[in-house]
Chain A
Amino acid sequence: MPYDPRAVNFDFSPDQRSLRDQARKFLAEQASSARVRRILEGAAPYDAELWRGMGEMGWIGTAIPEAHGGAGFGYLELCVIAEELGRSLAPTPFSSTIYLAAEALLLAGSEAQKKRWLPRIAQGNAIGCFALAEGAHVATPGNLTTRAVGGRVTGTKLPVMDGDVADFAVVAASETAGRAGLFLVDLEGAHVTRTSLTTVDPTRSHARLAFEAAAAEPLGAPGEGWPLVERLLDRAAVLVAFEQLGGAQAALDMAREYAIGRFAFGRQIASFQAIKHKLADMYVGVELARSNAYYGAWALSKDAPELPVAAATARVAATEAYYQAAKENIQVHGGMGFTWEFDCHLHYRRAKLTGLMLGSARRWKDLLVARLEAGAA
């Protein structure tokens, strides 16, 4: 069973909360619904102006050590920013670059690899991506068809979030049968073909990456392989949980506001118990997800042994809370919720996207129980 914390400082600090206020204010202007819709409806893969602004605010290098050109704050600050990015639906390559690519470098990169990429990431001059999936099935160490042989990778990865705009990719490939590892591939190099993909959420761009013996450097010590992938996914799961939490809270807030303003049968629809109880259930889902995400943040910030269980718990709670809130937000809005014009669908799309980007809740539940079994053994 997990560590039993006692009392009692289970919240963000005043400084962290003022960072949250600052981020919320910035994103209300720079990632407004109109700005998000520019990416939804236009050809640009992401909001480059917003991405530059985030760099100027110092957010991109939040958890990158100062020695590598970052701000050297901690993961708690990064969680605070992630929640606001999720709330605003900010269409930038933040999650792939920071939660996955930079984290992979920090976890397993050589000094040379870190030196090459981290300062450029921190300055907003390099975008990274994480290439694991290979189509419409769950990726396992045993079924990866992308191969790494003699410093070159060959195979096709899809979908790769931000794969169309990234400068480099962290690629999962099998080295020998049933053994996988992570590799660093410069996407500007030769033997890489990128094709844009359509997904359920066009506010975040995705690509198919085809490697034909592309030059690749191993990340991490030989044999680290899949456990490294899992460690990376755990860390990203906590950070993405905060994005999901922000999105879930935003969907709940939208539903609440609409229900208060909308009249039917001569009164506010928010006065009907069918609506009130629906909103109460959304609230409970969001609050349980918030508490589980906070615990994940604590475990991530301390690199605590509880992290694998805490991350899986945060992931499952946040995935389900966001989907529930986004889905029911449409329902509360009635027919208007089903229109392109209303923003309900933006959260509905993002909820499903974030719910799958690190693997489905089904898979994380299985992982969670496996970890509880291992802990209780």
Chain B
Amino acid sequence: MDFDDTREEAEFRTEVRQWLAANAESKSGAFETWQSRYPGRDGYEGLERAKEFQAKKADAGFAALHWPVEWGGRALPPIYQVIYSQEETRYLVARGYFEIGLGMCMPTLFAFGTEAQKRRHAPLALRGQEVWCQLFSEPGAGSDLAGLRTRAQRDGDEWVINGQKIWTSGAHWADWAILVARSDPKAAKHKGLTFFFLSMRSPGIETRRIKQISGASHFNEVYFTDVRIPDSQRLGAVGAGWGVAITTLMNERLTSGDLRGPDFEEIFGLARSVSLEDGPAIKNAAVRERLADLYVKTQGVRLTRFRTMTALSRGETPGPENSIGKLVNAPKAQDIASFAMDLLDMGGVVMDKDTAPLRAAFQESLLSSPGGRIAAGTDEILRNIIAERVLGLPQDVRVDRDLPFDQLPTSAR
């Protein structure tokens, strides 16, 4: 048991550090993000700059370390990606532009696309010249993704798409997308789906921003009216779309992000700096107990990640036990935000950046953290995943498995 890099890993880390020092942008403070530095024009300025950095990163060979060499990767074990990310976190990192394309869409294309398609798309995605999004969730199909009802109807060598997707990150600037749609409503739920990729410039696509409770707009609704996709852009067999979607989602688990708002260090710092009715907050027994609980969770998740890294380092694949991180961190972020505001008492409601501590990071987090408990697997779905895939418990009784999809009961619409 030790925390030392192997010789090869240490050499790689040095290479990464030198390259980042010469090429990456420094942070001006712990909470500065790419989006806060480049807030203008709905994030388009940030996108342009992120594309410039991504091209440099790809040219230096850091953009997809575990990809095959022929597609611009270095075919390195996953631990090298962890090392790169650890080092990159010290800098201002462009997040939210290319992860879906490189982490989810390209692996799906590699698994199901033709050689010509891979050659056409992988290099441009890698250099950030083409941005991808993922058209999966629908208003009636979130946790129950297989309940989606966007229609794909065959018309000769083409498919015609009608329907609506939602929660699509980055759809407003994406160039390409992967899509799962229902090709056969008479088949059972999971058997009537087919998977495609398509240009976001296709006629008949309309994208609308969704305003979140935090006021930000990271997601979109995407409407399809007679959108045509050539059959050559189908991934996997007709009716086999669910299996393809699972491939995509398995990769999502490796991509899903860290806690970005205030964490233990910030709430600990706040407790040391504010006073309660009986003196400094840090000396209050109830405050101390909650701080200890938060520290134990924070360390637990961090150290669990080191165990995952150890498995990666040995060439083992991390399993669904990775779900622990998000299941603990997302509610914890919400707790920290709310607890911090309680420590500020009546003044906790103020969101004015010049008045609230940490430029209102806790208040911002109160309003953004509920999303963390829902996106990329709700708390409840994650518990199901742990129960079924880690502990091997049986699935819940499924009333929808074998009936034709168009006979399933639905919400009032």
Interface on A for B, CB 8 Å cutoff? Answer: 1-2, 5-13, 76, 256, 259-260, 267-268, 270-273, 275-277, 279-281, 283-284, 287-292, 294-295, 297-298, 301, 313, 316-317, 320, 362, 364-366, 368-369, 372-373, 376
Minimal beta-carbon separation of A190 from chain B (angstroms): 44
Residue B342 is within 8 A (CB to CB) of chain A in the complex: no
Partner of A6 from B86, B268, B311, B328 at Cβ < 8 Å = B86
| A8 pairs with B393, CB closer than 8 A | no
Of the listed stretches B136-144, B230-238, B243-251, B285-293, chain A binds B285-293
Q: Is B306 an interface residue (CB 8 A)?
A: yes
Known: A316-B296, A366-B285, A376-B268. A10 touches B397 (CB 8 A): no
- Which residues of chain A come closer than 8 Å to B295, judged between CB atoms? 313, 368-369, 372
B153 at interface by CB-CB < 8 Å? no
CB-defined interface of B81-110 with A at 8 Å, one 1/0 digit per residue? 011001000000000000000000000000
17 contacts between A and B (CB under 8 A): A8-B310, A9-B313, A268-B394, A272-B396, A273-B396, A276-B391, A279-B387, A280-B386, A283-B390, A287-B304, A291-B300, A291-B307, A292-B299, A298-B1, A301-B1, A317-B296, A366-B289
How near does chain B come to A324, taking the closest CB pair, in angstroms? 13
List of A residues within 8 angstroms of B82 by Cβ:
7-8
Q: Are A288 and B301 in contact (CB under 8 A)?
A: yes
* Chain A residues, Cβ within 8 Å of B391: 256, 276, 279-280, 283
Q: Of the candidates B292, B383, B388, which one forms a contact with A281 in the assembled complex, judged by CB atoms under 8 Å apart? A: B383
The answer to whether A7 and B3 have CB atoms under 8 Å apart is yes
A2-B299, A280-B383, A297-B1 known; A316 vs B394 contact (CB < 8 Å): no
Complexed CA–CA distance, A289 and B303 (Å):
10
CA distance A54 to B86 in the complex (A): 44
Instruction: Decide if B2 is an interface residue (CB 8 Å cutoff).
Output: yes
Closest to A268 in B: B394
Residues of chain B within 8 A (CB-CB) of A294 are: 1, 303, 307
The reply to whether B393 and A292 contact each other, CB–CB distance below 8 Å, is: no
Interface residues of B in 121-177 (CB under 8 A from A): none
Interface positions, chain B 319-373, Cβ under 8 Å from A, are: 321, 324, 327-328
A contact residues around B311 at 8 Å (CB): 11
If A366-B288, A366-B292 are given as contacts, then 16 extra A-B residue pairs at C-beta distance below 8 Å, sorted by A number, are A5-B3, A6-B3, A6-B13, A6-B86, A8-B79, A8-B306, A10-B307, A11-B307, A260-B393, A273-B384, A276-B383, A276-B396, A280-B384, A284-B327, A291-B299, A369-B291
In the bound complex, what is the Cα–Cα distance between A7 and B314 (angstroms)? 12
Q: Are A9 and B393 in contact (CB under 8 A)?
A: no
Chain B residues lying within 8 Å of A291, measured Cβ to Cβ, are 299-304, 306-307
- Of the residues A289, A298, A365, A376, contact of B289 by C-beta under 8 Å: A365
- CB proximity of B333 to chain A, nearest CB, Å: 16
**Which B residues are CB-close (under 8 A) to A259?**
393
- B4 in contact with A9 (CB, 8 Å): yes
Q: Is A284 touching B288 in the complex (CB atoms < 8 A)?
A: no
- Given that A271-B397, A368-B295 are known contacts, is A288 also in contact with B328, CB under 8 Å in the complex? yes
CB distance B292 to A368 under 8 Å?
A: yes
* Cβ of B380 under 8 Å from chain A: yes
Q: Provide the main secondary structure of the chain A interface.
A: helix
Q: How many chain B residues have a CB neighbour from A under 8 Å? A: 56
Structural contact, B86 and A277, CB atoms closer than 8 A: no
B9 lies within 8 A of chain A by Cβ: yes
Asked whether any CB of chain A lies closer than 8 Å to the CB of B5, the reply is yes
Of B299, B327, B390, which is in contact with the most chain A CB atoms at under 10 Å from its CB? B299
Q: How far is the CB of A241 from chain B (nearest CB, A)?
A: 12
Residues of B within 8 A of A277 (CB): 380, 383-384, 387
- A358 CB to closest chain B CB (Å) equals 16
Q: CA of A50 to CA of B396 in the docked complex: distance in angstroms? A: 43
- Residues of the B chain whose Cβ atoms lie less than 8 Å from the Cβ of A365: 288-289, 292-293
Q: Are B282 and A369 in contact (CB under 8 A)?
A: yes
B297 CB-CB contact with A under 8 Å: yes
B309 in the interface, Cβ–Cβ < 8 Å?
Answer: yes
- Which chain B residues border A290 with CB–CB below 8 Å? 304, 307
CB-based contact B309/A284 at 8 Å: no
Question: Are A260 and B394 also in contact (CB < 8 A) when A291-B300, A294-B307 are?
Answer: yes
CB contacts (< 8 Å) of B327 on chain A: these are 280, 284
Contact partners of B13 in chain A: CB under 8 A: 6
Q: Which B-chain residue is minimally distant from A364 (CB atoms)? A: B292
The CA-CA distance from A179 to B272 in the complex, in Å, is 30
Give the chain A neighbours of B300 by CB distance below 8 A: 287-289, 291-292, 317
Inter-chain CA distance A372–B272, complex, in Å, is: 11
Q: Shortest Cβ distance from A288 into chain B, in angstroms?
A: 3
Contacts known (A287-B324, A291-B304, A373-B272); A280 close to B387, Cβ less than 8 A: yes
Are B3 and A8 in contact, with the CB atoms below 8 A? yes
Is B310's CB under 8 angstroms from A10's CB?
yes
Q: Are A10 and B292 in contact (CB under 8 A)?
A: no
